[in-house]
């Protein structure tokens, strides 16, 4: 009988006092920092890749995922009595390969700053959603150990995951060729997963602030620092760095405080388009008003702020305005990117951290010769999405509680 870990919508692992320290096998590598490659879900190297899928369909799915993501943030909650970690299979844009167990077993997981656990499906599996890669069987690993935790189930709306919390060796392949091993990593092993995932991911690599996330478990080895640099082209690998390799510094670097110990909340004071400055209201709880997120494609803003921003952008663009082919985005133009002379949008974060978004950050190829504004109105959460973060080195420092930005050519990074 395995420990029951029951999850609510998209899954929420619940456990008590089960976290153990995790240390790097090679302190020299970890103390100096290391970098791994991450790939976009639409890259030919991705398990999600569908060669026959059109650009129109990919954008429509990205919009759908972004809205689901906002809904997911709206429904998550944190109980003060338990350590909970949300599992959201299939929602996310960037994937990394890593290995678990001894001997090593290759796994693909969604890199997610909005999740707080390393999670995957495991054999024997009573009910597992379909995935293109083999499912990990702990009985084949000599280093797998089930945590003797006192687990409890939480109320569910009908979608759940049941399984074990375990200790297992996790191996990351660095860009310099050598691998980095982390023994006794806490991993969620799902064996009865009633939620449906239309995608084919094996799991999740959570980079949130919760105690079970990868960055929290690595904290003693990498100083609570990680960064990513997202390439502007989907078929080119992006970079995810840890420790000293994740430090963002030098000319052009700006930093803003993380204002909440949960999701990565920042305070966005205003947006500027040309000479038009659009202010955002403060959050009701004073804990920041926008989540920076690796798992949401588009950038979502409150209805009134989005309306003003769209109008300001539309006044500057001279192409013919057309309807979105997917009927989901509200500001689209007929033409190619080289014909689009869109204004720079500046995000004004607290701490005098101004982040400038070029046209490649603010407009997306909508398919059928149409380009669309990659922002949307939201009635729930404001989210700084990953599309707007491309070609920006984004660094998280959980000890200093800051996020830093630096304009960077992420293809050459």
Residues 6+ apart with CB under 8 A from 258: 264, 265, 266, 288, 396, 398, 401, 402, 403
If phi over 0 gives left and psi between -120 and 50 gives alpha, with beta otherwise, what is residue 70? alpha
Of the candidates 181, 184, 154, 171, the one whose C-alpha atom is nearest the C-alpha of residue 77 is 154
Contacts of 172 (CB under 8 A, 6+ apart): 34, 36, 98, 179, 180, 182
**Sequence-separated (6 or more) residues with CB below 8 Å from residue 76:** 12, 86
Question: DSSP states of 206-253 as a string?
Answer: E-SSSTTSHHHHTHHHHTTEEEEE--SSTTS-EEEEEGGGG---STT-
At residue 57, the 3 state secondary structure works out as helix
Sole residue written with tokens 């090679």: 26
State the catalytic residue, choosing from 93, 112, 116, 164.
Answer: 112
Query: Which residues 6+ apart lie within 8 Å of 129 measured at CB?
Result: 89, 121, 193, 195, 196, 197
- Let me know if 293 is a catalytic residue: yes
Buried b (16+ CB within 10 A) or exposed e, 365-376: bbbeebbbbbbb
Contact, 245 vs 239, CB < 8 A? no
Catalytic residue among 93, 164, 293, 324: 293
CA distance 213 to 410: 25
Using CA atoms, how far apart are residues 109 and 88, in angstroms rounded to an integer?
A: 11
- By DSSP bridging, strand 83-86 and strand 12-15 are antiparallel
| Pairing status of strand 383-384 against strand 290-292 | parallel
Contact 221, 246 (CB under 8 A): no
> What is the DSSP code (8-state) at residue 389?
G
Size of the chain in residues = 413
Q: Which of 35, 46, 36 is nearest to 234 (CA)?
A: 46
Judge whether 363 and 343 are in contact, CB under 8 Å. Answer: no
Q: Which residues are catalytic?
A: 112, 293
């Amino acid at each position: 009988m395995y420990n029951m870990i029951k999850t609510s919508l998209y899954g929420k692992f619940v456990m008590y006092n089960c976290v153990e320290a995790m240390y790097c096998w090679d302190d020299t590598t970890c103390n100096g920092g290391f970098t791994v490659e991450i790939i976009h879900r639409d890259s030919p190297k991705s398990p999600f890749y569908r060669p026959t899928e059109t650009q129109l369909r990919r954008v429509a799915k990205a919009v759908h995922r972004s809205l689901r993501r906002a809904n997911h943030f709206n429904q998550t909650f944190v109980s003060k009595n338990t350590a909970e970690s949300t599992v959201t299979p299939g929602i996310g844009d960037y994937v990394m390969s890593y290995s678990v167990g001894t001997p090593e077993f290759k796994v693909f997981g969604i890199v997610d700053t909005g999740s707080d656990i390393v999670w995957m499906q495991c054999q024997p599996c009573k009910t597992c959603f379909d995935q293109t890669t083999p499912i990990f069987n702990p009985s084949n690993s000599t280093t797998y150990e089930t945590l003797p935790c006192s687990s409890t189930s939480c109320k569910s709306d009908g979608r759940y995951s049941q399984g074990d919390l375990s200790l297992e060796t996790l191996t990351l392949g660095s860009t310099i060729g050598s691998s980095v091993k982390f023994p006794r990593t806490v991993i969620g092993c799902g064996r009865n997963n009633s939620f449906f995932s239309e995608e084919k991911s094996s799991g999740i690599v959570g980079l949130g602030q919760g105690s079970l996330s990868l960055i929290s478990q690595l904290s003693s080895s990498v100083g609570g620092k990680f960064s990513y640099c997202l390439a502007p082209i989907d078929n080119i690998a992006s970079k995810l760095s840890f420790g000293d390799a994740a430090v963002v510094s030098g000319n052009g670097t700006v930093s803003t405080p993380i204002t909440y110990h949960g999701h990565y909340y920042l305070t966005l004071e205003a947006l500027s388009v040309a000479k038009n400055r659009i202010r955002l209201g403060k959050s009701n709880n004073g804990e920041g008003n926008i989540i920076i997120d690796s798992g949401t494609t588009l950038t979502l803003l409150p209805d009134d702020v989005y309306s003003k921003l769209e109008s300001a952008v539309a006044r500057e663009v001279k192409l013919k305005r057309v309807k979105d082919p997917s009927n989901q985005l509200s500001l689209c133009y007929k033409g190619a990117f080289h014909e689009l002379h869109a204004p720079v949008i500046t995000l004004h974060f607290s701490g005098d951290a101004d982040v400038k978004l070029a046209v490649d950050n603010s407009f997306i190829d909508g398919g059928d010769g149409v380009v669309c504004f990659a922002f949307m109105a939201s009635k729930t959460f404001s989210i700084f999405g990953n599309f707007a973060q491309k070609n920006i080195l984004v660094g998280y420092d959980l000890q200093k509680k800051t996020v830093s930005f630096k304009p960077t050519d992420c293809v050459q990074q």
